[in-house]
Amino acid sequence: MKSTLPVLPEGPSALDPSVVCPPCGKCCRYVAVGIDEPSSVKRVSTALWMVYHKGVSIFESHDGDWFMVVAADCENLQPNGFCGVYQNRPLICREYDVDGCEGTSSEPAEKLKFEDAASFVRWLATQRTALYLKCVERGVIPETLRPTLTRRKPRSVAS
């Protein structure tokens, strides 16, 4: 049976990870899974549940996609930062865009990142206030996480 895996390019540097990948291993130290944008009470509740767990964070990419991140080193990451199964690495690794990776870019990989519930709730309260208030009303946001929202006082008009 013929393999359906993509054929790797040939040549001395084609299979040398040091030519295409900085040996930082940053992309090999977590698993990111796409999630729904926290745009409803139910989705906010799910996002909170995720970040309540140690070692789990959520982020929004620069493209507007949302992800849950679990800190976990790949078992094939070598001490020198290279991949121990580079020639036979999974397709997701082969398709990873090295040009925009954490090791080659000065820009953060994420637009927004929340490593705990408090930072997520503060963002929600200030950036998506109406949704935050719905979540409070539905009992999704614990009192201990509720920031004090400062409301603008109406300006008085001089007579």
Give the total number of structural domains in the chain. Answer: 1
Residue 11 lies in a domain: no
Residue 33 lies in a domain: yes
pLDDT given at position 11: 43
Residue 116 lies in a domain: yes
Residues spanned by the domain of 39: 17-143
Higher per-residue pLDDT: 150 or 133 = 133
The amino acid at residue 138 is R
Question: pTM for the full model?
Answer: 0.76
Measure CA of the first residue to CA of the last residue in the chain; give whole Å: 88
**Length of the chain counted residue by residue:** 159
Which tens digit of pLDDT belongs to each residue from 4-48?
Answer: 544 444 444 444 555 667 777 888 999 999 999 999 999 999 999
Sign, CA dihedral 39-40-43-49, equals: positive
When pLDDT is cut at 50, 70 and 90, the band that residue 93 belongs to is confident
Residue 136 lies in a domain: yes
Rounded to 5°, the CA angle 49-55-59 comes to 65
Residue 42 lies in a domain: yes
Residue 49 lies in a domain: yes
Residue 158 lies in a domain: no
Residue 157 lies in a domain: no
